[in-house]
Structure 1
Amino acid sequence: MRSRTWLRRAGAIACAGAVLAGCGTDSSDGLSVAKSGGDASSASTVDPAALDTGSYPTSPAPEFGRATKDNILDVETQRLAEFVVVPFEVDPNLVTAKMPTMVIRSHENLNSVLSGNAADVAKTHGMLYGYVSTAATSTTAVTDPSRSLVQMVLRFENADDASAAAQEMHTGLTTVDTDGTGVETPETIGILPNTLVSTSEYSYSAGPEVSVNAFTAHNNYLLYTWAKAPADDKEWTAEAVARALDLQGPLIDQFPAQPTLAQNGGEPAELPMIDQDKILLYAIPEGDEQADSGNDMASYGPRGMAHRSINPPLTYRVLTEAGSDHNAVYKTNVYRASDDAGAQMIVEEFGNDLTSQGYVEAPSPQGLPDAVCLSKDTTDGTTDYCLVANGRYVGEAYGTDDKKDVDQKISAQYLILEQADQNAE
Structure 2
Amino acid sequence: MPTENLTIATDAGHDLTGSLEMPTGLVRGAALFAHCFTCTKQSRAAVAVARALAREGIATLRFDFTGLGGSGGEFGRAGFAADVSDLVAAGSYMVERFQQPILLVGHSLGGAAVLAAADEIGAEHIAAIATIGAPSDVPHVLRNIDGDIEAIRSKGEGEVRIGGQEFCLGREFLERVENIDLLDEVKRLRKPLLFLHSPTDAIVGVEHASALFQAAKHPKSFVSLEGADHLLLQEQDADFAARVIAGWAHRYLPLREDWPMPEEGIVACTGHGKFGTEVHTVSHQFIADEPKSYGGDDSGPTPYDLLNAALGTCTAMTMKMYADRKKWPLEGVSVHVTHERKHEEECDHVEAMEEGKQMQALNRVISIRGDALDDDQRARLIEIADKCPVHRTLEGELHVHTRMGEVAD
After TM superposition, the score normalised by the length of structure 2 is 0.29
* Bigger RCO of structures 1 and 2 (CA < 8 A, at least 6 apart): 1
Task: From the CA coordinates, give the structure whose radius of gyration is larger.
Answer: 2
After TM superposition, the score normalised by the length of structure 1 is 0.28
